Amino acid sequence: MQSTLRSQEAVQQQPPPLHVAIIMDGNGRWAAARRLPREAGHRAGVVALRKVIEAAPELGVTTLSTYAFSQDNWRRPAEEVSALMALLRGYLATEIDRLADAGVRLRVLGRRDRLPDGIADLIGRAETATAGGTRLDLRIAIDYSGRGAILAAVSTVAAGAATCEDVSRQLEQHGGGPGVDLLIRTSGEQRLSDFLLWEAAYAELYFVETFWPDFDGTALARALDAFRTRERRFGGAGRGAKTAEKQPPRSLVRHIRTLLAWSAR
């Protein structure tokens, strides 16, 4: 009996899961300010990512989602895209043992069929090598589109009278993860840029002027301190207010299908 009570108390004392998403922006401007090539900014961004990954579990973060390369980034100059893909290849080759030793599980979001030869295989091997990690769930979005992820999930469940929960489950099965608690964007820009649009529906937003290569564990701690001062109401009336009886969710997918049908006319 006492053992059961101790187990229950231990569970109750565990902090709740915390999902932080980061739009890692400003590598190019960081490099330009130092009269360096853009590739140097991207290399410095990899170092910043390592620092944030190391700090995140100590700060209570259980899931860290990062935006490395969007679907729209293919529009960048071919030379820059090639450099980014070379950095990705190098990261997968050199960082995986470090992640596995630190208890970090890596998952990659986004399409893999358009990546250069060999990178999809490297991703698969990295995900397998780190699958046992329980300290931090790291998700890196590459060739990713939030709208594309939602449409893919909707197309899977659209045959029935699907609910928001159905779409959420489909997104999680494809690596989308739980709802985002805090979404950070560096470099002073204030937009989501098609990143985790569904998962970030109730995320707290935190915009900082710092370019990504200068963002580190201390900067992450400041963002989390600001986050923890906010009251999250999720559409409710706040602390102390009488809550209404929960209503069943409406079929969001049905409305999306209707809108898609109208747009096709």
* Catalytic positions, written as ranges: 25, 73
Report the greatest alpha carbon distance in the chain. 67
**Residues facing residue 70 across a β-bridge:** 144
Distances (CA, A) of 249 to 160, 180, 253: 15, 20, 11
**DSSP secondary structure code for residue 16 in this structure:** P
Query: How far is Cα of residue 47 from the mean position of the Cα atoms in its chain?
Result: 18
DSSP 91-111: HHHHSHHHHHHTTEEEEEES-
Instruction: With CA atoms as reference, report the closest residue to 25 among 60, 70, 90.
Output: 70
